[in-house]
């Protein structure tokens, strides 16, 4: 009985992964995007027993100070909310488009600033649709565009 439940969960997870990869290969193409702005904010999260507390969005420097020195937030985990606005050339119509993404960490763990170029996946069918690269794209080397995009 338990083995059957675990098998069903494993099949569901594998099916979702296969669908995601198939969707990405058929409907998206890796391109370069140029960053127009980056807005980084942080918040603190602290769990004591079964109770969890979360702070408001604050500048990251302030959250680091509070996590070190404030009695309520000492030892709290610092989480990031990064909003990246970028411009890219859509493979659908060849025109420039703008989009934004909200991330919990910087792509490839390198901080971005205005004017930087980073890889994204652009839809082959919808001009305004993009998605971030995942670890599979980076591992397989699919995050690098085949030709200049920006």
Confidence check: pLDDT of 148 > 60 = no
Residue 146: the pLDDT is: 47
Say if CB 45 and CB 54 are below 8 A apart: yes
Q: SS3 for 60? A: helix
In this predicted model, what pLDDT tens digit does every residue of 126-147 receive, in sequence order? 888 888 776 556 555 555 554 4
H runs (alpha helix) in the chain: 2-27, 60-69, 135-140
DSSP 28: E
The H or E element that residue 122 is part of is: strand 117-123
Q: What does the alpha-carbon distance between residue 17 and residue 77 come to, in Å, rounded to a whole number? A: 30
In this predicted model, what pLDDT tens digit does every residue of 91-137 receive, in sequence order? 888 899 999 989 888 877 778 889 998 888 888 888 888 887 765 56
Cα 125 → chain centroid: 22
Q: Which residues contact 117 (CB under 8 A, 6 or more apart)?
A: 32, 33, 34, 35, 150
Residue 136: the pLDDT is: 58
Q: What mean pLDDT comes out for the span 41-45?
A: 94
Q: What mean pLDDT comes out for the span 75-98?
A: 92
Q: What does the alpha-carbon distance between residue 68 and residue 73 come to, in Å, rounded to a whole number? A: 8
């Amino acid at each position: 009985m338990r083995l059957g439940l675990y098998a069903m969960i494993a099949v569901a997870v594998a099916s979702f992964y296969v669908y995601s990869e198939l969707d990405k290969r058929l409907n998206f193409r890796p391109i370069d995007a140029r960053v127009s702005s980056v807005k980084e904010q942080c918040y603190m999260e602290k769990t004591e027993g079964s109770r969890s507390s979360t702070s408001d969005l604050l500048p990251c420097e302030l959250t680091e100070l509070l996590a070190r020195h404030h009695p309520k937030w000492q030892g709290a985990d610092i989480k990031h909310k990064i909003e990246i606005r970028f411009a890219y050339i859509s493979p659908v119509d060849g025109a420039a488009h703008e989009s934004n993404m909200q991330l919990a960490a910087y792509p490839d763990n390198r901080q971005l600033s205005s004017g930087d170029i980073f890889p994204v996946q652009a839809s082959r069918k919808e001009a305004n649709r993009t998605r971030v690269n995942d670890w599979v794209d980076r591992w397989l080397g699919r995050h690098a565009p085949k030709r200049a995009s920006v």
